[in-house]
Amino acid sequence: MSAAALAAMAEDTLSRRDFERISRYIYQQAGIRLPPAKLTMIEGRLRRRVRATRRATLNDYCAWLFDGDHLDGEKEHLLNAVTTNKTDFFREPKHFDYLQQQALPAMRAEGRQRLRVWSAACSTGAEPYTIAMLLDTYAREHGGPDYGILATDLDTEVLAVARRGIYPSVLLDPVPPALRGRYVLRPRDAARDEVRIAPELRAAVGFARMNLMDDHYPVGAPMDIIFCRNVLIYFDKATQQAVVRRLVSCLRPGGLLFLGHSETITGFDLPLTAVANTVFQRT
Ligand SMILES: C[S@@+](CC[C@H](N)C(=O)[O-])C[C@H]1O[C@@H](n2cnc3c(N)ncnc32)[C@H](O)[C@@H]1O
């Protein structure tokens, strides 16, 4: 990009009115709060939509969006642009220790033949594939239980990455070597610094778009385990409580809910008991 283009970009800012229109819309659609401190971040993220829609400036983009009646067609791109998708394999590893050492043995001892697990807000797939590696290993070593994983997110771009299951190899560094050896495939072309999740794990995870703001989560039979980590932090308290209430309604009694390490349910009147740090059991 030329110096002139960079300078023009730096001068292109959102008016207060347009930032408010964007943040109101994002809050209504996705529950995500965008306080004024997020202005620069949002400007940066919307610039690629300005280019993609061939608008001249951020404020032109907003006029096109809100006054030009293009919201419906642009909605998916806009939501994809504003979500924060940071994730990692084996992120917050104590949760996976708990899953492996406590939750799976207890569920096996209860005689459960098949576990239904949901990774809500799965981003690019590191979380559901981490869970799949552990469930698959446990099932191999103990002759069960069988399992199926549903992985959902609002953002259609991260879901496309997750479905492909191809990652820069450095992202797989947190995966223990034994699991990497079994579930991570090197490309035939060794010059490509990418790896792919093994087909049996990809087959065990079904990806779908789902908005946690929806009144009803169409997940079918009750879940044994739900991971909903590092997304509640973007919502206000009332929205967090409504989301956790709906998640609990999808969990069987005795089932487990894993939240992110900085997320809490303090003050929510819900049938949940803490069983480990940010791990809750439905009573
Ligand atoms: C920071 S990532 C967390 C990913 C993963 N759970 C983890 O802990 O590594 C947050 C994810 O929540 C998704 N998200 C944000 N708002 C959402 C909503 N209303 N419904 C569903 N997913 C949402 C984003 O698209 C993003 O991929």
Please indicate, yes or no, whether residues 43 and 154 belong to a single structural domain of this protein: no
Ligand 1, atom 2: nearest CA belongs to which residue?
85
Please indicate, yes or no, whether residues 53 and 166 belong to a single structural domain of this protein: no
Cβ atoms of residues 149 and 99 within 8 Å: no
Query: Which pLDDT score is estimated for 188?
Result: 78
Cβ atoms of residues 21 and 62 within 8 Å: yes
Residue 244 lies in a domain: yes
Segments forming the whole domain that contains residue 37: 3-82
Residue 88 lies in a domain: no
CATH number for the domain spanning 151: value is 3.40.50.150
pLDDT tens digits, residue range 171-180? 999 999 999 9
- Cα 243 to the center of its chain, rounded Å: 14
**Backbone angles phi and psi of 119, in degrees to 5:** -105, 100
Give the three-class secondary structure for 108: helix
Q: Is the CB of 30 under 6 A from ligand 1?
A: yes
Ligand 1 mean position, distance from CA 153 (Å): 6
Structure tokens that stand for 230 in this block: 């590092």
Cβ atoms of residues 177 and 205 within 8 Å: no
Whether the full predicted model's pTM is greater than 0.85, yes or no, is yes
Residue 87 lies in a domain: no
Ligand 1 mean position, distance from CA 122 (Å): 6
- Report strand pairing: 251-259 vs 223-228: parallel
Note if the bond before 218 is cis, omega within 30 degrees: no
pLDDT tens digits, residue range 88-140? 999 999 999 999 999 999 999 999 999 999 999 999 999 999 999 999 999 99
